[in-house]
A and B are shown apart, each in its own frame.
Chain A
Amino acid sequence: ETGVTQTPRHLVMGMTNKKSLKCEQHLGHNAMYWYKQSAKKPLELMFVYNFKEQTENNSVPSRFSPECPNSSHLFLHLHTLQPEDSALYLCASSQTSGSGSDTQYFGPGTRLTVL
């Protein structure tokens, strides 16, 4: 276990549904990340939160809405998704020092299928 949990592990939703992905880290880190991983493509960074403040939105469509209520929890709210949004969604956390490299710890991911 990496200390980062994600729920649900699998999700199937229709294009008109609203659902949320949850991520929790038990490592005391201050930064949390959402990534999208599609088949045979690199991980795409979606959002970054540092000390609960969103510091990066990588041109993600508004049908993805992140929420970070505290440094340990991160949500990704989903609504009116498209079939091409089907992918593995990974959450990660790190302890940012601002003066060196930060190793990221990943959760197991949520496998999302949009019908």
Chain B
Amino acid sequence: SQKIEQNSEALNIQEGKTATLTCNYTNYSPAYLQWYRQDPGRGPVFLLLIRENEKEKRKERLKVTFDTTLKQSLFHITASQPADSATYLCALDLMFSGGYNKLIFGAGTRLAVHP
């Protein structure tokens, strides 16, 4: 069966440390993988996209890796801040012949950064 798994438990870290979130999937072959941030009571907000032929992508304090052999993506936030506390969603991006891309989301990992 097709599955997407993210760390189901909340991740608690100290301010200034690096947070690492994991996204594992089975029986999919995504062309792209996206990461979103969701705050309570709000819709998800796009953060980063990585292509299947890219190993790593960076944006400011964020870094994403994508290993299509392991079927895994890692999402890193360096020098974490309390404002980074949120739920982070990974989404597999499946290209469809209907002319649009279909996103399959994981359940998300809740990150709490403590001062």
User: A residues engaging B (CB < 8 A)?
Assistant: 2, 4, 31, 40-43, 45, 48, 50, 55-56, 90, 92, 94, 96, 98, 100-109, 111
Contact = CB atoms under 8 A, between A and B. Distances in A.
Given A101-B93, A104-B103, A108-B41, 16 more contacts: A40-B107, A42-B89, A42-B106, A42-B108, A43-B44, A43-B105, A45-B104, A56-B102, A90-B44, A96-B101, A101-B32, A101-B34, A101-B51, A102-B101, A103-B49, A111-B41
Nearest to B48: A103
Interface of B: 4, 31-32, 34, 41-46, 49, 51, 89, 93, 95, 98-108
A100 B41 CA distance: 30
Q: Which of B95, B99, B105 has the most CB of A within 10 A?
A: B99
